[in-house]
Amino acid sequence: MNKILVGLKRVVDYNVRVRVRSDGSGVETDGVKMSINPFDEIALEEALRIRERGEAAEVIVISMGTADAQQQLRTGLAMGADRAILVDAPQGIDPLSRARAFLKVVERESPDLVLLGKQAIDDDNNQTGQMLAALWGRPQATFASAIEFRDGSATVTREVDAGLETIEIDLPAVITADLRLNEPRYVKLPDIMKAKKKPLDTIAIDELGIEAAPAIDEVGFAPPAERQKGIMVDDVAGLVGALKDKGLL
């Protein structure tokens, strides 16, 4: 392979407790630690391992969002990516718009493989990879827990409800990474310094001919209801009675 294109999304760090803004307009991000979406980080780690095995020549990371996303792209470069692309777009564009923008970058770069996380931990849509493959007209393999390459094709082990499924797809293709595909490497300080000198290009989303307006309007956000205090019952009859009192039976 020549190029691998890896998508990175900027999300609230998975260790942070998410809070809704007081006006209900969205999730609080001021002063909150932001990170690479964990599944995207796994996808990048896999791309780097493929390159290190001599099965690819270049790894390119791409993110869509505001200039703040450069932080996550620089982290991707510090992990070992060769260069980065930021598609300057409003925060929170919908998955279909993301897939269309990805397609334009794919057409510019002509990668042999696109690796994405299976979903983002902020919206959990699990749609961008599948939409990109459909728009591109190329095969896809989602929820990958193992990938092998041979003679212009990829053998992918997928995690499905019934267990594991192994499929073979022709390249170029889109593959989305599941949790057990690998464990991402730690970024070292010397690599962070080197990443500052690696190329990071910015492209405005309108230059790609993509309308940035979201297809879905988010009218309000609210935190989940407080968990009710549990009660103790003496026997099965007491349990049945308590459930009836709550209208659950």
- The pLDDT averaged over each successive group of 10 residues in the chain (249 residues) is 94 87 80 92 97 96 93 95 94 86 95 95 91 96 95 93 93 96 93 92 91 73 82 90 86
Look at residue 213 in the predicted model and tell me its pLDDT.
Answer: 66
Which residue, 216, 56, 196, is CA-closest to 125? 216
Look at residue 214 in the predicted model and tell me its pLDDT.
Answer: 66
- Rounded-to-integer distance, Cα 125 and Cα 51, Å: 29
Q: How far apart are the first and last CA of the chain?
A: 59
Look at residue 246 in the predicted model and tell me its pLDDT.
Answer: 83
Is 44 within 8 Å of 76 (Cβ atoms)?
Answer: yes
Look at residue 147 in the predicted model and tell me its pLDDT.
Answer: 96
The CATH code for residues 3-245 is 3.40.50.620
Look at residue 229 in the predicted model and tell me its pLDDT.
Answer: 82
Is 46 within 8 Å of 115 (Cβ atoms)?
Answer: yes
Look at residue 128 in the predicted model and tell me its pLDDT.
Answer: 93
Helices (H), 53-148: 70-79, 95-109, 128-136
- Rounded-to-integer distance, Cα 118 and Cα 160, Å: 12
Match 């956000």 to its residue by tokens: 221
Is 155 within 8 Å of 166 (Cβ atoms)?
Answer: yes
Look at residue 215 in the predicted model and tell me its pLDDT.
Answer: 66
Q: E strands, the chain, where?
A: 3-7, 10-12, 34-36, 58-65, 83-88, 113-117, 140-150, 153-160, 163-170, 173-177, 200-204
- Rounded-to-integer distance, Cα 178 and Cα 181, Å: 6
- Rounded-to-integer distance, Cα 18 and Cα 12, Å: 8
